[in-house]
Chains A and B, each alone.
Chain A
Amino acid sequence: MHTMNENVLLAIVLLPLVAAVVAGLFGRAIGRAGAHTITIAAVGVSCALSFYVLWQVTVAGVPAFDGPAYTWLVSDGVRMQVGFLVDRLTALMMAVVTFVSLCVHVYTIGYMAEDDGYQRFFSYISLFTFAMLMLVMSNNFMQLYFGWEAVGVVSYLLIGFWYKRPTAIFANLKAFLVNRVGDFGFVLGIAGVLYYVGSLDFSDAFAAAPALAQESFHIGQHAVPALALICICLFVGAMGKSAQMPLHVWLPDSMEGPTPISALIHAATMVTAGIFMVARMSPLFEHSEVALSFVLVIGATTALFMGLLGVVNNDIKRVVAYSTLSQLGYMTVALGASAYGAAIFHLMTHAFFKALLFLAAGSVIIGMHHEQDMRRMGGLAKYMPVTAVTCWIGALALVGTPFFSGFYSKDAIIEAVGESHRWGATYAYWCVLIGVFVTALYTFRMIFLTFHGPERFRNAAHAGHADGDAQEEPDTASDHGHHGEAPHETPLVVTGPLVALAIPSLIVGFFTAGPVLFGSYFQESIRVLEGNDVLGEIAREWHGPVAFALHGLMAPTFLLALGGAATAWLFFLRSPALADGVARRLAPLRTLLVNKYYFDWFNENVIAAGARLIGRGLWKGGDQAVIDGVVVDGSAAAFDRIAAASRFRLQSGYLYSYAFWMIIGLAALLGWFLIAG
């Protein structure tokens, strides 16, 4: 087997699409079991084939595939086509996406069992898998943009899945609007590539990158380096999709969607699309120091400040969501430090352990009869042992405990930033270091509040429902009257995926860190300039995963993580009174955090209100008076009058009138040619 089979690639992409269409359009006919059977079968085959492709490019040494599958349109020399670029980077992403997606499909059987929109839900998540695969396998900007928007659409649909709930609709709209801002930047970046390169194919754009670095773009009198502008525009797209500050505001609200979606889309796959895109564009970004510094600073800010928000939140899903934001910040920092390999590696390990944490949180929510507030949990380890153990594994991986998968990826990022000499690197280094402490703090706070300590669910079961802090899942479960009953372990379809995800969270880093981080795994798919190769610097210190982990046990990062864990233990398990005292003393800081740095306030009261003000002005003055009054209504009214008049005058229904018009037409044509000829 020396080449990749195009049909295999097509099957990987199209099977989930077919399943989505069948489950979506014929959901009523095939029933619940039919819907989940067909989608799981399709995604399962897709997953198996993805691993086969991964095996091909890594073990069997098959060269990367880059070619068009179908040309849709050639306009003015620009080819718009569906094409695949499958190299080691893509193959890794395909394996991660389909594996996590498969786990989520299985988990959904249990989680959504009582929901009316069962088939619709399976249709959406299969459609999402298709869109995400289109995105990662693309070999051109056109298809990348298609996949980009398609995953976005499914994401909006799923955030608003419970469309009868006003908060879900609000979150859905917010995600849509914020992503518009990012996508606007993204499309400008693509336009820039098209303008300067004249082609939408990645290979052409990458080949032109060194020359492009010399070009500049003139805005009035000012010359701006063209490549920096393009890269920053593209990165603005990534900021929207991967929720970097200040475009992060939609992600916490997206937790309004069902939990499997939070795991699949808003933690493991879609939000990493921005990270993947920048890594894929590494040949472009490498030539622009300015853009990379921008990426570095944004990522570092997100990594630290979003982690802090996790410390004050009480909703178990939102804590995990802020953790996701912070970890995305880590990946972005790695990109900014030119450690693309580390970013993708962290993306992979994070996909496993964060999906695990989300699904574990979902399992807790099911076990607690749709309760999400951690203040009303506690001591659950006794009732839900499988969930507790798997959640511990996820948490240990997240904080970067040596030998766990998260350790290898996160430590590599921190060391890479330490090695980097780029503008902003020192700031970024401190951010990610403190971030380690914060990560451990919020993670163990969540673990301790949920699984350990006193059982608070019995006495407070009914009390807190009115305070609006807990996001109650709005299905029939809340009417079941389970409240106050003991929590229970969840069924096998829920715990199965937890175990399936816990295993890679434990070991995947240990086995793959060597080749992916420091070996030549990515070969040509990621390009790093000679002077920027921070991972190469660290590689000299690399003496295998065991040595790396043992070294990690003595490193400051691990001590910081231990400190965070100890603090969490002290405040939330040992003596909660102490935590209250500290909170009182730091009241202004706490207020700032609880209000999420006033981002939402700013967006709603300044940006949205300002936009409404301008909009109203334009609407009254410009639109209603000029455009509607004269151009649209005026012309429409004129058309209307003409149409109505001709309908009865010309189309009178009388035969003689019709014949008369025919003769007039004939005579006019004859006359014209007699006179002209």
Chain B
Amino acid sequence: MQPTFTWSGVAPALPEIYLAAAICVLLMVEVFFGERRRGLTGTLTLLAIAGGAALTLACAQVDARVTLFSGMYVADPLGTVLKLFAFLFLALALLYSRAYLEQRDILRGEFYVLALSALLGVFVLVSANSLLSVYIGVELLALSVYAMVAFDRTSGVAAESAMKYFVLGAIASGTLIYGMSMVYGLSGTLRLDDLAARLTEAPSLGLVLGLVFIVVAVGFKFGAVPFHMWLPDVYHGAPTAVTLFIATVPKIAYFALAFRLLAYGLGGLTGSWTQMLAVLAVLSLVVGTVIALAQTNIKRLLAYSAVANVGFLLLGFVAGTPTGYGAALYYMLAYVIVTLAGFGVVVVASRRGFEADELEHYKGFHARDPMLALSMMVVMFSTAGVPPFIGFWAKLRIIEALWETGHLWLVIIAAAASVVGLFYYLRVVKLMYFDAVPAGLPATEKRTGVRFALGLNALAVLALGVVPNPLLELCERLLG
């Protein structure tokens, strides 16, 4: 190991270093100017994100795979692409939620600092090449998110859900590190690339047991049944702006977690963890879809829809092939783009003292705000998997990957769940377009910038479905 510290030795990790520095600067700015100029930190955060994206692009590794810091960290094209998407998604989420935070008097710099530190957690996970850095990434992300859920200190529901999230998350972290310790003990290495090289013959029972603990933690993070209990309560209890964040950006990290840890590091145990994930995926599909039928609150509806979608996404991993991982990546990106627009509409439709979170509030939405209603309709059609929206391709790719690997039953279950899911997605459309407007609903947010971004977001859901090839090919190339 070379003791000297060289520039080329850290250059690929510049995005993370930059982000850490930006967090410190923003904290200082908040301390000195936060009271006087409320929105300053938010604006600076968006600038910092733009700068970070440019920097990430500048030090992107086009084809190479470089490990740094004694193999703790890896820089590769997958990492770069995921980070760029994370920047984009975070910027959109923050843009949508600004007015919401302002109207509830929680537009404080700390919100942005927490969002950026969660983003740093995402980055660490995305570039993790060691069990330790995986764990650090998971914790950094989780702790920031717990604090964000409880951010509105006056809200009892938010505090309750943050508490639940924290306790259950602690259990999941426990199982994760417990499983990791067993894997480490039996393999003798923390590095994921070494693990991938060493675990080639038939696994011992100890390894499989360690794997179970790890899979439980991964399932918890994704919100897969039966480790999903936190998800509806947290989505529902958190301020909608925070729900918008936790429903989108961290999904990138969880995909990276599953891919780096299971598909890559523990690739030798593919036969075992695909079986476990298959069970979780089927349970998630069934439970998520069925319980969503009974929801009357759109945040809870989208939460159960998230559970069902996680089931779909995990099916991509169940296929256990590069095509399947590519399909899962595409599914994740598609899901996040659609969900940003979905919760974006909920956030923009909410006003001071009014949460537009009951399905009741969306009756006759078209008459109140045609543009938001149209966006929501696009979201619902896409999530339901109707062509030509992006969600159709995401589902199709997963099913293709399963078909190729001979998982006939999973294909049937996935298709059946999609059909049942159609009901509650279309019900929202029916409410918006065919029901009468209830009295006494306030007007929606009219700021042009936000609506423009949201419109582009919804348009992307359509455009990426009409022209699916660029993104599909990107996902295939990254993982193929």
User: Contacts A646-B287, A659-B168 hold; do A673 and B212 have CB atoms under 8 A apart?
Assistant: yes
Residues of A within 8 A of B272 (CB): 673
Q: Report B161-189 CB contacts with A as 1/0, cut-off 8 Å.
A: 00110011001100100000000000000
Stretch from A44-52, A55-63, A637-645 forming part of the interface with B: A637-645
Could you list 6 further interchain pairs (A-B, Cβ under 8 angstroms) beyond the known A643-B293, A658-B164, A661-B229? Answer: A639-B293, A659-B171, A662-B171, A662-B226, A664-B226, A673-B205
Would A673 and B208 count as touching, CB distance under 8 A?
A: yes
Stretch from A318-326, A440-448, A647-655 forming part of the interface with B: A647-655
Per the bound structure, the CA–CA distance linking A647 and B288 in Å amounts to 11
Per the bound structure, the CA–CA distance linking A674 and B171 in Å amounts to 22
User: Contacts A639-B290, A640-B294, A659-B167 hold; do A673 and B227 have CB atoms under 8 A apart?
Assistant: no
B16 within 8 A of A: no
Residues of B within 8 A of A70 (CB): 467
Q: Is the interface of B mostly helix, strand, loop or mixed?
A: helix
Per the bound structure, the CA–CA distance linking A658 and B233 in Å amounts to 11
Per the bound structure, the CA–CA distance linking A651 and B235 in Å amounts to 13
Would A669 and B229 count as touching, CB distance under 8 A?
A: no
Per the bound structure, the CA–CA distance linking A164 and B233 in Å amounts to 47
Shortest Cβ gap from B218 to chain A (Å): 12
B230 within 8 A of A: yes
A residues whose Cβ falls under 8 Å from a Cβ of B: 70, 72, 639-640, 642-644, 646-647, 650-651, 653, 655, 657-659, 661-662, 664-666, 669-670, 673-674, 677
Per the bound structure, the CA–CA distance linking A677 and B219 in Å amounts to 21
User: Contacts A662-B229, A665-B227, A669-B276 hold; do A651 and B171 have CB atoms under 8 A apart?
Assistant: no
Would B209 and A673 count as touching, CB distance under 8 A?
A: yes
CB nearest neighbor in A for B170: A659
CB nearest neighbor in A for B163: A655
User: Contacts A658-B168, A659-B171 hold; do A644 and B294 have CB atoms under 8 A apart?
Assistant: yes
B residues whose Cβ falls under 8 Å from a Cβ of A: 163-164, 167-168, 171-172, 175, 205, 208-209, 212-213, 215-216, 219-220, 226-227, 229-230, 232-233, 272, 276, 279, 287, 290-295, 420, 466-467
User: Contacts A664-B226, A665-B216 hold; do A655 and B293 have CB atoms under 8 A apart?
Assistant: no
Per the bound structure, the CA–CA distance linking A148 and B209 in Å amounts to 60
Residues of A within 8 A of B216 (CB): 662, 665-666, 669
Would B226 and A651 count as touching, CB distance under 8 A?
A: no
Residues of B within 8 A of A673 (CB): 205, 208-209, 212, 272, 276
User: Which residue in A643, A644, A655, A670 is a CB contact (below 8 Å) of B212?
Assistant: A670
Per the bound structure, the CA–CA distance linking A518 and B216 in Å amounts to 79
Residues of B within 8 A of A657 (CB): 229
Per the bound structure, the CA–CA distance linking A669 and B175 in Å amounts to 13
Per the bound structure, the CA–CA distance linking A644 and B294 in Å amounts to 6
CB nearest neighbor in A for B172: A662
19 contacts between A and B (CB under 8 A): A639-B293, A639-B420, A643-B291, A643-B292, A646-B287, A646-B290, A651-B229, A651-B232, A658-B229, A662-B172, A662-B220, A662-B229, A664-B226, A665-B227, A666-B213, A669-B212, A669-B215, A670-B209, A674-B209
Per the bound structure, the CA–CA distance linking A121 and B213 in Å amounts to 63
Residues of A within 8 A of B167 (CB): 655, 659
Per the bound structure, the CA–CA distance linking A670 and B182 in Å amounts to 14
Residues of A within 8 A of B208 (CB): 673, 677
Which of B213, B216, B226, B467 is the most central at the interface, judged by chain A CB atoms within 10 Å of its CB? B226
Per the bound structure, the CA–CA distance linking A460 and B295 in Å amounts to 65
CB nearest neighbor in B for A638: B290
Shortest Cβ gap from A638 to chain B (Å): 10
Shortest Cβ gap from A128 to chain B (Å): 20
Would B291 and A651 count as touching, CB distance under 8 A?
A: yes
Residues of A within 8 A of B287 (CB): 646
Residues of B within 8 A of A643 (CB): 290-294
Shortest Cβ gap from A73 to chain B (Å): 9
Per the bound structure, the CA–CA distance linking A655 and B209 in Å amounts to 26
Residues of B within 8 A of A642 (CB): 290
Shortest Cβ gap from A149 to chain B (Å): 15
Residues of B within 8 A of A647 (CB): 291, 294-295
Would B293 and A640 count as touching, CB distance under 8 A?
A: yes
Residues of B within 8 A of A653 (CB): 233
User: Which residue in A639, A655, A669, A677 is a CB contact (below 8 Å) of B168?
Assistant: A655
Residues of B within 8 A of A670 (CB): 209, 212
Residues of A within 8 A of B291 (CB): 643, 646-647, 651
Residues of B within 8 A of A669 (CB): 212, 215-216, 276, 279
Nearest 4 Cβ contacts at the A-B interface? A658-B229, A643-B294, A665-B226, A643-B293
Shortest Cβ gap from B400 to chain A (Å): 10
